Amino acid sequence: MKTEDLENQIVALLGEKNRRAQAIPEIADALNLKGKLRKQLPKHLKRLVVQGTIVTLRNGRYSLGEEADLFTGRLISVRSGNGFVDAIAPDTSASVFVSAKDMSTALSGDTVLVRLYPAVPDDDRGRSGKIIRIVERGRHDIVGTLRSTGRFLHVVPIDPVYAQNFYVGETMGAAVGDRVLVRFTHWENRHVSPEGEVIEVLGPADSPSVDTLSIIRHHDLRDEFPEEVLREAEAASARMELPGKRVDLREDLIITIDPKRSRDFDDALSIQREDGFRILGVHIADVSHFVQPGSALDKEARLRGTSVYLPDKVLPMLPEQLSNGICSLNPGRDRLAFSVMLKVDDDGKVVARWFAKTIIRSGCRLTYEQALAVIESKGKGKRTKKNASLTPEVVGLLRDLHKLAQQFRTRRFANNALDLDVAEVEIVTDGEGSMTGLQPVVNDVSHQLVEECMVCANEAVASELASRHIASLARFHDEPKLSKIEELTDLLVGMGYSPGDLTKQRVMAKFLRRIEHDPLAHHVHVAILKSMNRAVYSSTQSGHYGLAKAFYSHFTSPIRRYPDLIVHRQLAACLRAPGGQRYDKPQLASIALHASERENVSDTAERALTEIMKFRYLERDLASGKGKTYASVVVAVTNFGVFVELEQLRIQGLVHISALSNEFLRFNRQRGELRNRRERFGMGDSLKVRVAEVDLDARRLTFAVA
């Protein structure tokens, strides 16, 4: 009997009307399990408990969670001390709120059992509950700074979601003030601190060069490839000599457009004219040709899930021999690709699509700056320093691609897609882990050119697989919960906006366009993003809310995202044989869950290191005594001061009420302002501030008015 069949029978049995909670022998007898299946029953029950499908009661009996008013899931803590217990089962999004006082001895990442509080009628805020048992401890290797109270040694975690310090005994030679890796051992009483043991000494906590290693260790990122994987990568180039049956596109003009410092090129573009239509070619590195299912390379790529882009280091999903070598679409080199061909009419509507394994030769590698110079230049013959080396054919191709991409973009936003791009900044480092400055990352028309073509290709692949009824990995973005939209609306009204009915996607899209140049635009964008569900991978095509797409998958970055590699394999299988597919639904659900988790870890690690680097930067500024002035905008007003966001650094801190004025300030909650006869401080106001205090451990910033 298959695992899935047996577990479905267990769930069906426990779900029978009037059936009480069952012990293991009772379940085995009811299902008539004998021999090996009977012995394996506890393993299957544990798997279902960890997934949250069933729950185990104190008497060792099993029941459906709904019947017992219990819920099993993984705890995700936030800095306030509260947390959310999210369902673990694939393709489910149930979540239960748990306040700090109801956490018991659970730590973020643990699988826990929650007793749900009674639901409040007509309350759309969701369920809440109390953690009553830890089903399974998560991985708790925690990086922190070794401190001393005089009598005891403890470690202060670098991650603020841990509200507790960890007691340690032996220190492996670490000195007070060192950054260490601690392995959690136990925590039985919530009124005392959890305990752990030091397993690695990373270096002095005040050394910026230790920060990147600290984040890598804390988030369990894989920074080295096993020898077997490296051997396979070395040998993979030989598969270039066995390309199989392919369409030869080496005579077509194909180009890549990437950041100046990019080292791997996994997508390329072309346009041909045919019978009055434009044929857009989106050519993606055929990683699936070199990374075979079940190989050491494939297993390592699945474990990693994604490449991790830290401010001063990249942890690639695939070894450099592939990511920067044989799979990279370098100019002037024969490369194997998987091409998406889209037939587009004069209005920018895709009227036909087809797919092919191809061999291409990129004719030109452009940076975004070069592409932008061409797009913005007036007249076909004009040359600038940035585009002087480009041939007229490349210039013409760029302009055609730009025109087409803007048509795609116009059609997408006309369909109420949401412009959720947040202005980003890129950290500039000195090579030794210290931030020296920031440079803005502009989403200009050159970036939009590539983005819109990739979105169109991803949609085409997802639609093709859906039309053939082939299960695949979707990129799923669910519409926001009503409770989140209500909270967002209250926040925006408090900020002085009249957003309208944001439950309607067209209203949300219109509001985003309206505040595009508002001084609080960045803060509003962030608030809206926080109200949204996180985009995840799913084994079911359920649409993408933000992009306003009914079908959407990731296909265009197989060098750095494992789900893209899976979609390549699924598409290739169904092109070889009608209805053919490499993976079934349960396999895809498992891959989707793991890939979503690894993506979340990657994003969290990147944000954490970026934040630490910004704090270090402000620490150095404060220590210099020069009192650098920063432009900021007020993003929240309280009775004890205002929170401001530095416009350049995109980081927030408090200006205490005592630092705002020499006169008494009165707090008006309804208007969201602090005011006296001469002065007023409200949301959206500009302030010039300087750093007053930096607390790296607690992640707190205090500013003074400059």
Instruction: Say whether pLDDT at 611 is over 90.
Output: yes
> For residue 476, what is the DSSP state?
E
Instruction: Say whether pLDDT at 584 is over 60.
Output: yes
CA within 13 Å, CB half, 370: 19
Q: Which residue has the tokens 């490449």?
A: 307
Instruction: Say whether pLDDT at 86 is over 90.
Output: no
- Which one is predicted more confidently, 586 or 17? 586
Considering the segment(s) 625-705 as one domain, its CATH architecture is: Beta Barrel (2.40)
Q: What is d(CA 350, CA 457) in angstroms, rounded to the nearest whole number?
A: 10
Mean pLDDT of 570-593: 88
User: 141-206 and 625-705: same fold?
Assistant: yes
- pLDDT tens across 671-682, in order? 888 999 889 998
Q: What is d(CA 252, CA 356) in angstroms, rounded to the nearest whole number?
A: 15
Nearest alpha-carbon partner for 72 in 91, 51, 57: 51
Phi and psi at 265, nearest 5°, equal: -125, 105
Instruction: Say whether pLDDT at 383 is over 60.
Output: no
* CATH number of this structure's domain 3-65: 1.10.10.10
- pLDDT tens across 275-328, in order? 999 999 999 999 999 999 999 999 999 999 999 999 989 999 999 999 999 999
pLDDT of residue 353: 97
- pLDDT tens across 237-263, in order? 899 999 999 999 999 999 999 988 887
Q: What is d(CA 19, CA 115) in angstroms, rounded to the nearest whole number?
A: 20
* CATH number of this structure's domain 141-206: 2.40.50.640
Q: What is d(CA 234, CA 84) in angstroms, rounded to the nearest whole number?
A: 44
- pLDDT tens across 272-281, in order? 999 999 999 9
Mean pLDDT of 647-651: 89
Phi and psi at 214, nearest 5°, equal: -60, -45
pLDDT of residue 2: 66
Instruction: Say whether pLDDT at 67 is over 60.
Output: no
Strand partners, 112: 73, 134
Strands (E), 470-617: 474-476, 536-538
pLDDT of residue 154: 95
- pLDDT tens across 652-674, in order? 999 999 999 989 999 988 888 89
pLDDT of residue 213: 96
Instruction: Say whether pLDDT at 694 is over 80.
Output: yes
Query: Per-residue DSSP letters for 627-665?
Result: ---EEEEEEEEETTEEEEEETTT--EEEEEHHHH-SS--
Nearest alpha-carbon partner for 205 in 253, 252, 145: 145
- Which one is predicted more confidently, 21 or 422? 21
Q: What percent of the chain has pLDDT over 90?
A: 65
Instruction: Say whether pLDDT at 372 is over 80.
Output: yes
Q: At what angle do helices 482-494 and 521-531 cross, to 10 degrees?
A: 160
Confidence of residue 408 (pLDDT cuts 50, 70, 90): very high
- Find the range with the poorest average confidence among 291-295, 366-370, 417-421, 598-602: 417-421
Confidence of residue 89 (pLDDT cuts 50, 70, 90): low
- Which one is predicted more confidently, 563 or 669? 563
Burial class (CB in 10 A: 0-12, 13-18, 19+), 639: exposed
Q: Which residue has the tokens 């498992």?
A: 590
pLDDT of residue 642: 95
- Which one is predicted more confidently, 423 or 210? 210
Nearest alpha-carbon partner for 453 in 668, 267, 680: 267
**H helices of 248-363, where?**
287-290, 296-304, 320
Strands (E), 275-349: 277-285, 308-310, 313-315, 334-344
- Find the range with the poorest average confidence among 79-83, 117-121, 137-141: 117-121
Instruction: Say whether pLDDT at 621 is over 80.
Output: yes
Confidence of residue 66 (pLDDT cuts 50, 70, 90): low
C-alpha distances out from residue 161 to 75, 82, 104, 165, 698, Å: 11, 9, 15, 11, 10
Instruction: Say whether pLDDT at 122 is over 60.
Output: no
pLDDT of residue 71: 84
* CATH number of this structure's domain 69-136: 2.40.50.140
> Domain segments of the chain: what residues?
3-65, 69-136, 141-206, 227-479+533-611, 625-705
Mean pLDDT of 125-152: 88
Strands (E), 388-539: 424-429, 435-441, 474-476, 536-538
Q: What is the mean pLDDT of the chain?
A: 90
Query: Per-residue DSSP letters for 501-537?
Result: -TTSHHHHHHHHHHTTT-TTHHHHHHHHHHHSPPPEE
pLDDT of residue 523: 84
Q: What percent of the chain has pLDDT over 70?
A: 95
- Which one is predicted more confidently, 651 or 442? 651
Count CB-CB contacts under 10 A for residue 600. 15
